[in-house]
Structure 1
Amino acid sequence: MRLFRAILICLAIALAVVPVLSLEFEEDNEFAEFEVADEVPVEKPPVKSPVEAEKVAPPKAAETETKTPVNDKDADDFAHLSEEEEFDIEEPKQDESEIEATDEKKPLEIKPLQFTDIPNHFRTNWSSYQVEALALSIIAIYMLNYLHGRQRNQSIANQWFQDVEPNLTDQFALVGDDGTSSNPEGGLLKETDYSYVLWCSGRVGVQGLLCQLRMIKRQDVIGLVYNWYKPRTDKVTYKFELDSGELDPIVLVLGNKKNVTKAVKELADLSTYAIERKGLERFSLPASFGLWAEIPETISAVLDPYVVNLINQYEKYIDLIHISDQFCGLKLQEGETYTRLPDTTPSMFFTYNIIPSEDSGTATRALLTLSIYLVDKLRRYRLSREGKAKADKKRQSVEESYLKVTHQQRQEIAQARREEKARERKQRLLEEEDPEKQRRLQKLEDKRELKAKQPKMKQVRMK
């Protein structure tokens, strides 16, 4: 019996061990996926086009795991190993070479080309350059007008000089010399494109003659357009500066009413002396003229039959005639005062219009002759005793009024200076730290105040 039991047990163990030994166990290697087989050729995948790559997506490689049969006891022994908390295995990091290899295998996405809209050439699309065309047109118009206007003013000035040159050469020793020019025979001196001057000298009793041409700004488009709204004409002014004592006390102005009224308001000598407006009926002057004079006696001396005849003949050419022995420029603005008596110069101004016409040359020469005629006549003219006394009285009253105004100003300045000195003395007295010295200063200040309060008495000596 014992032998039979031992044989059964051996058979049972043999039957249990034989199936297990018949199985083929694979070696469990955890680092097998990182091992590279030696001398195993790597096949490169065929290159596919982008369209085929998008249609056919590469299948994902499924990881196969080999399961090893184990017994129940073994399973119980290793049951704690199935929990995730016991084995938290980190995935291995890939090498950079493998990352680059995977990037090379990824197909490149090619985006379709986008073409930008390009405008047509300007020669086929002129409407796109309207602003530029307008700007170029304005510049071209301005340049053409500038060249034409400058040439026009130059020609008018040259024509005027040709008309007056013979007469000026006969009356003056030097024509065209202002004393500073390197070329005495230069003729007209151009200041701007619309302004010219001519200086003449070398005549008895006359310091000099300054001829000023002020023309329309034809070279400027804006000035030309402005002239359409307020029409103006080219003007020439003859300014005669006489020597001291060559002209008796005369202040007179005549010419166009509008310009005469404006001159009386703006010029200092006219607003001070020529304050009486005279009638024109008995002088046979045109109705469009105005006349202001200081002494009525001087009007008959200026307006003789020869002068009146020329004025009526060339009425449209005459703008202003201003004669004054007290000319000192423009009048001071409101609130301004003279610090000293202004310097006066006996002067005569003749302003004429330059109007292009058939007789413009004759009118220019005749009016220049009229100007020189009045200069010579008034140099020889002498006022009567009554007229001279009246003129001297007027000038003396003007000087006294000026001295009175300036005396009051000087008093105000002196009073302000005294007050400033008194404030300085009081300030020094307050800042003094020495009591003895402060007492002496206070005593001197009280003495000054007492002296200032005493009435001023005039001492009279009896002989």
Structure 2
Amino acid sequence: MKVEWLLWFFLLIVCFSWVNGLEFEEDNEFAEFEVADEKKTETTEEVVPDETPKVKVPEEEAFAEFETTEKKVPEEAKDDFSDIAEEEEYDAFDSKVEEGAEEKKTLEIKPLTFADIPTHFRSNWSSYQVEAVALFIIFLYTVNYFIGKQRNQSLAYRWFDDNIEFLRDQFALVGDDGISENPDGTLIKETDSSYLVWCSGRVGISGMLSQMKLVKRQDVIGTVYNWFRPKTDRVIHKIDLDKNEIDSVIFVMGNKKSVAKAVKDYTDLATYAIERKGLERFGLPASFALHAEIAETISAILDPFVVQHLQKYEKYIDLIHITDQFCGVKLQEGETYTRLPDTSENMFFTFNVIDSPDSLEVNRALLNLTFYLLEKLRRYRLSREGKVKAEKKRQSFADSFLKVTHQQRQEAMQARREEQARERKQRLIEEEDPEKQRRLQKLEDKREQRAKAPKMKQLRLK
């Protein structure tokens, strides 16, 4: 718990520093872009072409120079060498025009441009605050996962080590996982918050499954949710009894909230069990509730030894459920059974696991209570009146169930008949032999006539 508080303290410090950074940050939202533009301008100014650009000679100057040269030539020479001079002057003019075009092309080279590079990480830490918070949350979740996983594992193995010797006194095989060559002393890890122990080898029962349902300490969200709605670690012992090992008994007692939830969820309790008042005369704690099918089973189960343990370990006992008609949880709204559900004889003991100095003594006492009630219920038999009352309730439930499901069964039978008729017609169509086809057609006609004929009963008088 100290480590969890320390982690949350560090998270608050990071959030506080982030808020302060946002308060003192400059209002200029375009500062980064201005810095990038300044750098771009400086870079552009520093770029100097390596070659000195040539001077451009305009075409007008070339024409003027040509005319001046033409004026300077004497008329006598012009007459004698007019053809040669004109050719040379035109060649010189063409060469100057070509040089001017080349110089124009060289001057039209575009300056170099550089891509905008984002600012360095160290120059602006405020831009990465969201990423820093996300990384810190991931780090916090990872640390909490490993710490919570290790704590759940240590709690499960500590409980198993404290009770394995007592379980070996009660069963021939303890901790069988079905895989190991040595099927003994194995704690099965189902999830990070659920561990299983399977025990077998005892007269009257097929086995006992002990499941440890621990708080999800490895999950940060589950840990925070547990602060608002605290939960405790629990161990559930489910005992599967052999057929006809116990009499017609349906009984549940324990914490009021747990009992109310069980009566709402399980079919056997919702159908047969009735809430019993006046628990003070039985000596049960005020925080307990009790539902039972037959009243006489209450006094038979709650003897002085059981009542003493219930009073002494009130905060450790969550639920005790004994039934010979267990068929699982109730169906969801809109779902129905097509046939009467299969039932089994089971006993459920749910105990709270509280880490304390005397936890070893408490675990031994609760396991002792479990096997005491197991042997007591195996020996217990209802009176004749109680047996008749229990059988009437079970028969009444079966009759009401058949009435409810009668329409569903009729619809299912009609669907099967239609499916069989379609198969016969398909076989008749696919038949290639004309003789067999006629014979199948006659049989089909007879079936249709029998179905259409009125049903009459024949009475014979002697």
Is the pair's TM-score, using the shorter chain for normalization, greater than 0.5? yes
2:453 is aligned, of 451, 454, 463, to: 451
Instruction: Rate the CA distance shift 1:204–1:421 in 2: closer, same or farther, 3 A.
Output: closer
Q: Is the CA contact (8 Å cut-off) linking 1:178 and 1:200 kept in structure 2?
A: no
Of stretches 177-186 and 362-371 in structure 1, the one that deviates more from structure 2 is 177-186
Q: Is the CA contact (8 Å cut-off) linking 1:168 and 1:175 kept in structure 2?
A: yes
Measure, in 1, the Cα distance between the counterparts of 2:196 and 2:251.
25
1:385 partnered with 2:402: no
1:305-360: CA deviations, max 9, x gaps? 11111111111111110000111111122332222222211110000111122222
Measure, in 2, the Cα distance between the counterparts of 1:422 and 1:159.
65
Q: Percent sequence identity over matched residues?
A: 61
1:379-411: CA deviations, max 9, x gaps? 011111111111112112222223333444323
Q: Is the CA contact (8 Å cut-off) linking 1:175 and 1:200 kept in structure 2?
A: yes
SS at match of 1:219: coil
1:102-144: CA deviations, max 9, x gaps? 5434373366666666444323432222122112101110110
SS at match of 2:106: coil
Letter in 2 for 1:376: E
Q: Is the CA contact (8 Å cut-off) linking 1:208 and 1:241 kept in structure 2?
A: yes
SS at match of 1:333: coil
1:66-99: CA deviations, max 9, x gaps? 9xxxxxxxxxxxxxxxxxxxxxxxxx9xxx9998
Unaligned runs of 5+ in 1: 1-47, 67-91, 427-436
How far the C-alpha of 1:101 sits from its partner, in A, is 5.0
Unaligned runs of 5+ in 2: 1-50, 72-89, 426-437
Measure, in 2, the Cα distance between the counterparts of 1:103 and 1:186.
98
SS at match of 1:106: helix
Measure, in 2, the Cα distance between the counterparts of 1:97 and 1:288.
115
1:359-379: CA deviations, max 9, x gaps? 222211111110011001110
**2:212 matched to which residue of 1?**
213
1:413-448: CA deviations, max 9, x gaps? 34566688999999xxxxxxxxxx9xx99x989966
Letter in 2 for 1:459: L
**2:14 matched to which residue of 1?**
none
1:158 partnered with 2:160: no
SS at match of 2:315: helix
Measure, in 2, the Cα distance between the counterparts of 1:344 and 1:304.
28
Measure, in 1, the Cα distance between the counterparts of 2:415 and 2:365.
60
Instruction: Rate the CA distance shift 1:58–1:146 in 2: closer, same or farther, 3 A.
Output: farther
SS at match of 1:346: strand
Instruction: Rate the CA distance shift 1:140–1:449 in 2: closer, same or farther, 3 A.
Output: closer
Give the number of aligned pairs.
380
Q: Is the CA contact (8 Å cut-off) linking 2:176 and 2:198 kept in structure 1?
A: yes
**2:363 matched to which residue of 1?**
364
How far the C-alpha of 1:169 sits from its partner, in A, is 1.0
TM-score by length of 2: 0.72
The higher radius of gyration belongs to 1
**1:106 matched to which residue of 2?**
104
**1:410 matched to which residue of 2?**
409
How far the C-alpha of 1:228 sits from its partner, in A, is 1.5
Q: Is the CA contact (8 Å cut-off) linking 1:318 and 1:351 kept in structure 2?
A: yes
Kindly report which structure 2 residues correspond to 1:238-277, keeping only aligned pairs within 5 A, or say none. 238-277=237-276
**2:134 matched to which residue of 1?**
135
Instruction: Rate the CA distance shift 1:167–1:450 in 2: closer, same or farther, 3 A.
Output: closer
**2:232 matched to which residue of 1?**
233
Measure, in 2, the Cα distance between the counterparts of 1:97 and 1:401.
117
Q: Is the CA contact (8 Å cut-off) linking 2:262 and 2:269 kept in structure 1?
A: yes
**2:435 matched to which residue of 1?**
none
1:174-214: CA deviations, max 9, x gaps? 11014444441342111111010000011111110100001
Instruction: Rate the CA distance shift 1:397–1:359 in 2: closer, same or farther, 3 A.
Output: same
**Structure with more of its chain in helix, by fraction:** 2
Q: Is the CA contact (8 Å cut-off) linking 1:177 and 1:199 kept in structure 2?
A: yes
1:255-314: CA deviations, max 9, x gaps? 111111111111011111113434312111111111000001111111111111111111
Instruction: Rate the CA distance shift 1:58–1:312 in 2: closer, same or farther, 3 A.
Output: farther
RMSD: 3.9
SS at match of 1:61: helix
Measure, in 1, the Cα distance between the counterparts of 2:214 and 2:280.
33
Measure, in 1, the Cα distance between the counterparts of 2:198 and 2:211.
9
1:331 partnered with 2:330: yes
1:227-277: CA deviations, max 9, x gaps? 122211111000111111110000000011111111111101111111343
SS at match of 2:362: helix
Letter in 2 for 1:401: S
Kindly report which structure 2 residues correspond to 1:278-297, keeping only aligned pairs within 5 A, or say none. 278-297=277-296
TM-score by length of 1: 0.72
**1:321 matched to which residue of 2?**
320
Letter in 1 for 2:457: M
**2:349 matched to which residue of 1?**
350
**1:80 matched to which residue of 2?**
none
Q: Is the CA contact (8 Å cut-off) linking 1:285 and 1:312 kept in structure 2?
A: yes
1:60 partnered with 2:62: yes
